[in-house]
Chains A and B, each alone.
Chain A
Amino acid sequence: MIDPNAPGFWEGLFQVLLAGTGQTLYMVGVALLVTVIVGLPIGVILVGTEAGGVFERPFGSRAVGVVINRVLDFIVNLGRSVPFIILMVALIPFTRLVVGTFIGSTAAIVPLSVVAIPFFARMVEISIKEVDSGLIEAADSLGATRWHVVSKVQVPEALSSIILGLSTTVTSIINFSAMVGTVAGGGLGDVAIRYGYQRYSVIHMTAVIIITFVIVMILQAVATYFARRFARRSVDISRVDATNRSLFRSIRTRA
């Protein structure tokens, strides 16, 4: 039991929360970076290797395309269906191989990325599928290569939607990042477990909830802002939920 009236309590709380927030942002930030770098190409390839896609015939063979598509699709489904807590434990040997240890915030980045990549890849896939096939045809008629189609048409046209998908992905990374606290991954989840749960500190628990909430809201607002900026179509904001929109408006009017 922690006594909030003990000398140095508030200073200690502040230190603990600062460290926890720092670790969470570090884990989430790096995991997000890895997720985008790996997930974006997977999403692009998932769409491309479908029948009629840009990578329909890699190395001149439709069979190769089908195999790539099926394998990626399977991995993505697998990654999305295994509960995180199990995935985290199951990945320990792999984490140790990559980072050298499976304890701490840096080690937590591995399972966080592994769980977020399939999630984001699916988001990218859905976003790119929404791009009008006529645009690809237009690029083809101008003599575009497959790389041109991806880099000049598919990704830029889907960007607004991809950013919204990314914001959903970050939210779930933050969500999972709290869970790594249970296996000594550090971060706000760790604070909540060690102080809030094990030592019954309601103040710590409340503070963690508020900080997490604020982080998620800020990220959502930023994502919505950029999604809007890149949405040049007249109506494409339907995917942003009402909460985000009102939040975005209140931030903008204050600014």
Chain B
Amino acid sequence: MIQLQHVSRSFGRADNPVRALDDVSLDVAAGEIFGVVGQSGAGKSTLIRTVNMLERPDSGSVHVAGRTLTDLSVSELRAARRSIGMIFQHFNLLSSRTVRGNVELGLEIAGVDSKERSRRSSEILDLVGLSDKSGSYPSQLSGGQKQRVGIARALASKPDVLLSDEATSALDPETTRSILELVKTINAELGLTVLLITHEMDVVKTICSSAALLEQGRIVETGRLVDLISRPGSRLARDLFPLGPVAPRSGGTVIDITFSGGTADRPVISQLARTHGLDVSILGAVIETIGGSQAGRTRLELPGSPEANAAAIADLRSRDLLVEVVE
């Protein structure tokens, strides 16, 4: 649905450019919720803005819903943007318009007549749960309500794709959850493809089916969440399930076991204790539900001799578990 191919974008003077995006390629499948994570300054904002060409790439191509946006003329691009909704961190609602007026903005721009506009805006305000606020002004709304209006505005022209630029970063945790829930509902009910950028791992964990890690304008890791978790040495997996630093201990071996898919519900630890006679202690654990299946990591300390521990690790690995020895 969304494809970026070798996209690069630099800012600043020609003799000392800052590379915001450096040969980025990305493929978001239809119906997916795809999250791009990275620190501030990694190029996330530039990345999401190239998808609807608010930011024109210096090189590379952008394809959305079968159209090559980088090849379109200005007026063709305007038309194409109507099928790409976008929501923003600071909502970007017009303070001079009511909730309904804001939702209808895109429809007015598209030249939809007023009867159809009000029918469509009523329908969408109902979907986002703001029917009773249609006559209010943005200044009278809470942050969560403002973002719902933002979502309604983006959805009014029935887009194929929704771009979310840190849409929950200005919201408190509870409101964030309700907005993510709404995005999830929209994704499921309208079959909308969602590309979001965020610096919050929780957002990715809560709604994304795939993710990419952006660092200094480059994509360093990408994949489906369920696959990332079982990928040895995955930085995204470590960021998604942080176990914290290892306290220095004498003797024994500290290992991280990653569970995903079918391995998650097996009684690994008690089996370990029984078959190897090891008194395993648990140093930390995270278990989450991702994409409908359980996944997580457990940090264990094996108290035995190096030989006994190695045998236990080999046994775990033979059972399709991902085991990493923590130095």
Contact = CB atoms under 8 A, between A and B. Distances in A.
Interface residues of B: mostly helix, strand, loop or mixed?
mixed
Interface in A120-139: 132, 134-135, 137-139
B54 A156 contact: no
Contacts of A140: 54, 81
Nearest to A160: B96
Contacts of B85: 141
Contacts of B86: 138, 141
A153 B94 contact: yes
Interface residues of A, number: 22
B109 A143 contact: yes
B108 A152 contact: yes
Interface residues of A: mostly helix, strand, loop or mixed?
helix
Contact of B96 (A134, A138, A230): A230
Contact of B95 (A137, A138, A144, A233): A233
B151 to A, nearest CB: 12
B105 A142 contact: yes
Contacts of A139: 105, 109
A148 interface: yes
Contacts of A254: none
A145 interface: yes
B157 interface: yes
Nearest to B52: A141
A153 B108 CA distance: 12
Nearest to B157: A142
A156 B138 CA distance: 14
Given A148-B109, A232-B138, A142 B92 contact: no
B188 interface: no
Interface in A227-244: 230, 232-234
A234 B142 CA distance: 13
A143 B96 contact: no
Given A135-B94, A156-B96, A232-B137, A143 B106 contact: yes
B120 interface: no
A156 B92 CA distance: 14
Nearest to A148: B109
Nearest to A137: B54
A36 interface: no
A139 B86 CA distance: 10
A159 interface: yes
A135 B139 contact: no
A156 B106 contact: no
Contacts of B95: 157, 232-233
A100 B86 CA distance: 56
Contact of B139 (A144, A156, A232): A232
B19 interface: no
Contacts of A132: 90, 92
Given A138-B88, A143-B106, A232-B139, A159 B96 contact: yes
Contacts of A142: 81-82, 105-106, 109-110, 153, 157
A138 B151 CA distance: 12
Interface in B134-190: 137-139, 153-154, 157, 163
Contacts of A137: 54, 88, 92
A156 B110 contact: no
A144 B82 CA distance: 9
B94 A234 contact: no
B139 A152 contact: no
B105 A134 contact: no
Interface in B76-120: 78-82, 84-86, 88, 90, 92-97, 105-106, 108-110
B117 to A, nearest CB: 13
A157 B109 contact: no
A135 B154 CA distance: 13
Interface in B51-90: 52, 54, 78-82, 84-86, 88, 90
A234 B139 CA distance: 6
Given A134-B90, A232-B138, A144 B78 contact: yes
A152 B92 contact: no
B105 A152 contact: yes
Given A138-B88, A232-B139, A234-B139, A143 B94 contact: no
A233 B139 contact: yes
A142 B78 CA distance: 8
Contacts of B96: 156-157, 159, 230, 232
Nearest to A134: B92
Interface of A: 132, 134-135, 137-145, 148, 152-153, 156-157, 159, 230, 232-234
Top-5 shortest CB links A-B: A142-B106, A138-B92, A141-B86, A143-B81, A134-B92
26 contacts: A135-B93, A135-B94, A137-B92, A138-B86, A138-B88, A139-B105, A139-B109, A140-B81, A141-B54, A141-B81, A142-B81, A142-B105, A142-B153, A142-B157, A143-B81, A143-B82, A143-B109, A143-B157, A152-B94, A152-B108, A156-B94, A156-B96, A157-B94, A157-B95, A157-B96, A232-B139
